[in-house]
Amino acid sequence: MWAFLKEDSSVRYLPHSVSERRQLLEACGAASAEDLFAHLPADVRLGRPLALDPGRSEYEVADYFHARAAENLTGRPCFLGAGAYYHYRPVLVETVVSRGEFLTSYTPYQAEISQGTLTAIFEFQTMLCQLTGMDAANASMYDGSTAAAEAALMAARITGRQGVVVARTVHPEYRQVLDTYARNRVLEVAACGYSPETGRVDLDGLSRAVNDQTAAVIVQSPNFFGLLEDVDAAAEVAHRHGALLISVFTEAVALGLLAPPAGADIVAGELQSFALAPSFGGPYAGLLATRERYMRQLPGRLVGETKDVRGNRAYCLTLAAREQHIRREKATSNICTNQALVALMATVFMTVYGKQGLRELAAQNLAKAHYLAGKLPLRFCGPFFNEFVAQARGRSPDALNQAVLERNIIGGLPLGRFYPELEDCLLLCATETSPRAAMDAVAEEFGHG
Amino acid sequence: MGERIRKVRGHVSQNEPLLFELSSPGKKACQLPPLDVPSVDPAAVLGPAHVRGEIEGFPEVSEVEAIRHFSRLASWNYAIDLGMYPLGSCTMKYNPRINEKMAALEGLALAHPYQPEPLAQGALEIMARLEAALAEITGMDAVSLQPAAGAHGELLGLLLIRACLEARGDPRKKILIPDSAHGTNPATAAMAGYSVENLRSNPRGMLDVENLARVVDAGVAALMITNPNTLGVFEENIRRIADLLHERGALLYLDGANMNALVGLTRPGDTGVDVMHLNLHKTFSTPHGGGGPGSGPVAVMRPLEPFLPVPRLKRTPAGWAFDYDRPRSIGRVRAFYGNFGVLVRALAYILACGADGLRQATLDAVLNANYVRQALLPHYELPHQAPSMHECVFSDARQARRGVRTMDIAKRLLDYGFHPYTVSFPLIVPGAMMIEPTESESKRELDLFIDALIAIARETEEKPELVLQAPHSTRTARVDEVTAARKPVLRWRPSPP
Amino acid sequence: MSTYPANYWYTKEHEWVQVEGDVGTVGITFHAQKELGDIVYVDMLKAGAPAEMGKRIGEVQSVKAVSDIFSPVSGEILEVNAALVDAPEILNQDPHGAGWLARIRLSAPQEIGQLMTAADYQAYLAEET
């Protein structure tokens, strides 16, 4: 039943010819493929072929995906943000990461033949420290949501406490992930509300929620509504009770212009904006960075600088004794992979923009969003970056978006699904890619309600 | 000695400083289009306290310097495109380039996770198609594509077990894990709030079923098993193991890292597995990218289906939609839906191979591993004689008599132009050398690898210092990991003036 | 060749304790540091923390392994060896002397009776290896 395919069934990813297979089998002392599996019990064998289509040529595979791609509406101005952002992607990003030496290499456990990856990660770690004001950054987490959850677990380890207070203005899906992670480590998560006028964390409410059992306070800035939080004030509340302050971000471009949170102990965030297009939600890369004194509590991979035995500067994975392959059940986390290729995309992006470019990019985002916001009825007052909440008047957000769609534009995110109290509102994001004409069209539709 | 090394020859390897050392004030590699709206003054709009000063030390280089920098760095890396990685349980197979092209299609790459479902039918269809294919391959009833990596999938798997047992009113506290397991298994069990009990393997390198029968009590939630195990040996008692656990109210979790030995031949769902994870970056050819991104879908049998993360895909008259109405779901393990770009690549691979091609890949993977095994038998110690599937595990026992250990042999392999095998794992084999060629390796590459290891065995006898001081011809020699851990330097800082 | 001081007491987990009056100095043995390899980091509970015989009072990390340290005696931690923070290698170089881990005020000196002598420990090592 399990015979090798005949010669004329071509499966181009398999290098053996029929005669080579025969040679290999002979060398193994086997007469046929069956002999290699003689030891498999009969009751585990699948008695039929897999119920999957026959294999396709490269061109047929391409046809399939082109057809699927055509079934998604893209290539139009889109005002969605909410954790995934549209930015121009410098061509160099693709050029670098499509090199086989980066794309098809393995985790750099063997430092002697992985200095390319290790050096790039070291540069990545450095740049993220420079941007966030932290002392140590790891080589990336799965995404912003899991980075935030791991930050909470890290704070619990450091303080020995069980409580976490998270602002409701942190991305709702990030909070859901935190709940899932916390439930199984016996962490207690409490939410802290926001002010209906400013759309920002209610600091009095925060003061009441934080106590001497709180390991961490988690705030996001810019928050889910796009507004800048007073992170230092939140940090002061946290520190007064001996808790840590975790600052979260979802829009990395903001780091180019906004002051890093001086009071934060841990920064967790999403680097998608620096790396790749929204890609229907993944793969992304999360950031986890902290102060020097908490460095050994960071989960995930870390690259360190050292020398080789000849005295040359070299890089290697380090502090592995935190990790799962050594500590096993006592590991700081179970994380094995880092999002190396996505982190490399971010590294190239940050390099291409550079010190001046990142600031300019952020400034353009600011200008675009403020242009659009200036024409819309805003729900909250207060400084914001490239996202804001606007109220639909006279018709529902869905009806508004339908009208906007008829003008070949995808509108903002109706907030009712996450915040029932804001069911007449939408979250809109404008970036350097948003054309003025599209923003004018959206503004017109808001006015037509 | 030199003529023995056939795969590589020395080459000129360029030096390259760090970006920060290359930088010069005012340089940049980008240019944005001019604003078509009025610019705003950040300090005026945000308040001066919210505006940062300059990003000190941040790179400032031109486009040419940028591309040279990363190209030179790339030249210091080994990669699958350059040759074999015989890493056990990593399944370093060829990463088909058509997969990259498909993931980059604008209609897929530009899709926003929150764009209205009627406008995302292509993406949803891809996810549904992949779920169905993975369910068929694993013989399980339902699949979640949400986890971002294998370890993430393991965590989800254990959360599902927990939810299922709690729903039965019988939450239990222990997870049993073989001592041959990958380190993520116990780490994940601890993250999921369980205590871990280690199980000894029997002398044949398989799970000791008699011992298991003694150990499975009413406190055991599940056994986490890898099949084939990390010795590359098929757990022939898998059905008995599953039955035993089920009789006593416990569940069976399969770590699917070694699926490359099973696809098309046997299905975990048919052998009593309740929940498992897959590694798309292993079995399903998605690229490792220097350490990620991967994807770790979880497959379950029907009793665990209600607990799967939200959202699930459902079919409606208008097409695919996300279903958030799942009251027994464990919630989310990440924002959005999964590493979609990786899912596209895996589906492209499955479509290209088809049923026959997937099975053929498995047959070739097992053939290649056995070919390497029989060729190395005269030269290296094989501690477990059970038949190998897609990987084999040798030990350095013979070479250790000359003071040469598995790590030294691994480092000498670098001089022969190969990435090493997995060193010192699984822990149950002292001095382990874990080799998984995968089906992607031609006879020529396999022969070069075998010749290299045979030559190293001879060097160990005749001139052990050659091996002990290896590598000799790589860009860096062995690195000082001790100082790196004692005095960690995790970022560049400018030298003091 | 390693010498195991005759006036020390030893545990099966390869810790030692040297008692003077009601204060015990605690460390890990030559064998333990050899198994671990180059020590990179030492993390002990703080002065003032309680110690309990057989319970964890800290851990020692090498590049490839982590080992929990279990206290050979019960009492209160008086002092932790600060020199190991900047120079963990001292633990490899002099595990029975300058590489001590903690000083503990004994709450139950009779516990010493349950520990091994140097001779017993060396016999135990010979069995284990």
Return the residue matching tokens 């960690």: B488
pLDDT for res A8: 43
pLDDT at B81 over 90: yes
Question: Which residues of chain A lie closer than 8 angstroms to C63, CB-CB?
Answer: 320-321
- Mean pLDDT throughout B309-323? 97
Question: By CB neighbour count within 10 A (0-12 exposed, 13-18 middle, 19+ buried), where does A325 fall?
Answer: middle
Q: Give C62's pLDDT tier (boundaries 50, 70, 90).
A: confident
The angle formed by the CA atoms of residues C34, C38 and C44, to the nearest 5 degrees, is: 90
Hey, is the C-beta of A293 within 8 angstroms of any chain C C-beta?
Answer: no
Contact indicator for A173, A417 with CB cutoff of 8 Å = no
Contact indicator for A318, A304 with CB cutoff of 8 Å = yes
**Mutation test of the interface with chain B: which of C33, C36, C38, C89, choosing the one with the most B Cβ atoms within 10 A?**
C38
- Residues 433-472, chain B: which have Cβ within 8 Å of A? 439-443, 471
The minimal CB distance from B350 to the residues A16, A43, A52 is found for A52
- Mean pLDDT throughout B255-272? 96
C-alpha separations of A341 from A100, A241, C77 in Å = 11, 40, 47
Q: Which chains touch A (3 or more CB pairs under 8 A)?
A: B, C
| Predicted confidence (pLDDT) per residue in B164-194, tens digit | 999 999 999 999 999 888 877 888 888 788 9
ipTM summary value: 0.96
Contact indicator for A318, B484 with CB cutoff of 8 Å = yes
Hey, is the C-beta of C43 within 8 angstroms of any chain B C-beta?
Answer: no
CA distance B214 to chain C (A): 26
Q: Report how far residue B224's alpha carbon sits from residue A334's, in angstroms, rounded to the nearest whole number.
A: 15
Instruction: Say whether C63 and A327 touch across the interface (CB within 8 A).
Output: no
Q: Report how far residue B395's alpha carbon sits from residue B433's, in angstroms, rounded to the nearest whole number.
A: 5
User: What is the dihedral angle through the alpha carbons of B369, B373, B376, B380, rounded to the nearest 10 degrees?
Assistant: 120
Query: Cβ of B119: how many Cβ atoms within 10 Å?
Result: 18
Six-digit token string for A87: 């930015």
**Mutation test of the interface with chain B: which of C33, C59, C63, choosing the one with the most B Cβ atoms within 10 A?**
C63
- Mean pLDDT throughout B351-362? 95
C-alpha separations of C122 from C11, C30, C36, C61, C84 in Å = 11, 11, 18, 24, 26
Q: Report how far residue B272's alpha carbon sits from residue B226's, in angstroms, rounded to the nearest whole number.
A: 13
Instruction: Say whether A330 and C61 touch across the interface (CB within 8 A).
Output: no
Cβ neighbours of residue A396 closer than 8 Å, sequence gap 6 or more:
A414, A424
C-alpha separations of B480 from A111, A308, B484 in Å = 10, 6, 7
pLDDT for res B278: 98
Question: Which residues of chain B lie closer than 8 angstroms to C88, CB-CB?
Answer: 486
CA distance B209 to chain A (A): 16
Instruction: Say whether B471 and A112 touch across the interface (CB within 8 A).
Output: yes
Mean pLDDT computed over every residue of chain B? 95
CA distance A327 to chain C (A): 6
CA distance B315 to chain A (A): 16
Q: Report how far residue B448's alpha carbon sits from residue B464's, in angstroms, rounded to the nearest whole number.
A: 21
Q: Report how far residue B369's alpha carbon sits from residue B258's, in angstroms, rounded to the nearest whole number.
A: 13
Contact indicator for A416, A397 with CB cutoff of 8 Å = yes
Higher-confidence position of B237 and A6: B237
Q: Which of A177, A362, A152, A122 is nearest to A247 (CA)?
A: A152
Q: Report how far residue A182's alpha carbon sits from residue B192's, in angstroms, rounded to the nearest whole number.
A: 9
Hey, is the C-beta of A327 within 8 angstroms of any chain C C-beta?
Answer: yes
Q: Report how far residue B29's alpha carbon sits from residue A48's, in angstroms, rounded to the nearest whole number.
A: 57
**SS3 annotation, B173-191:** CEEEEECCCCCHHHHHHHH
- Mean pLDDT throughout B335-355? 97
Contact indicator for B51, B42 with CB cutoff of 8 Å = yes
Instruction: Say whether A279 and B49 touch across the interface (CB within 8 A).
Output: no
Strands, E assignment, B319-413: 319-323, 392-395
- Mean pLDDT throughout C34-55? 91
Hey, is the C-beta of A328 within 8 angstroms of any chain C C-beta?
Answer: no
Instruction: Say whether C40 and A326 touch across the interface (CB within 8 A).
Output: no
pLDDT at B46 over 70: yes
| Predicted confidence (pLDDT) per residue in B449-465, tens digit | 999 999 999 999 999 99
Cβ neighbours of residue A253 closer than 8 Å, sequence gap 6 or more:
A85, A87, A273, A274, A358, A361, A362, A365, A386, A431
Contact indicator for B162, B329 with CB cutoff of 8 Å = no
Q: Report how far residue B381's alpha carbon sits from residue B495's, in angstroms, rounded to the nearest whole number.
A: 51
Instruction: Say whether B485 and C89 touch across the interface (CB within 8 A).
Output: no
Return the residue matching tokens 């190239």: A348
pLDDT for res B254: 97
CA distance C63 to chain A (A): 6
449 residues of chain A, pLDDT tens digit each = 566 655 445 578 999 988 899 999 999 999 888 899 999 999 999 989 999 999 999 999 999 999 999 999 999 999 999 999 999 999 999 999 999 999 999 999 999 999 999 999 999 999 999 999 999 999 889 999 999 999 999 999 999 999 999 999 999 999 999 999 888 777 999 999 999 999 999 999 999 999 999 999 999 999 999 999 999 999 999 999 999 999 999 999 999 999 999 999 999 999 999 999 999 999 999 999 999 999 999 988 899 999 999 999 999 999 876 665 556 656 556 666 679 999 999 999 999 999 999 999 999 999 999 999 999 999 999 999 999 999 999 999 999 999 999 999 999 999 999 999 999 999 999 999 999 999 999 999 998 75
| Predicted confidence (pLDDT) per residue in B129-145, tens digit | 999 999 999 999 999 99
Q: Which of B281, B304, B234 is nearest to B262 (CA)?
A: B234
Instruction: Say whether A27 and B270 touch across the interface (CB within 8 A).
Output: no
Question: By CB neighbour count within 10 A (0-12 exposed, 13-18 middle, 19+ buried), where does A177 fall?
Answer: buried
The minimal CB distance from A342 to the residues B234, B293, B489 is found for B293
**With pLDDT > 90 as the criterion, what percentage of chain C qualifies?**
79
Return the residue matching tokens 């018709």: A395
Q: Give C1's pLDDT tier (boundaries 50, 70, 90).
A: very low
Residues in chain B: 497
The minimal CB distance from A316 to the residues B51, B348, B481 is found for B481
**Mutation test of the interface with chain C: which of A159, A317, A319, choosing the one with the most C Cβ atoms within 10 A?**
A319
**With pLDDT > 70 as the criterion, what percentage of chain C qualifies?**
98
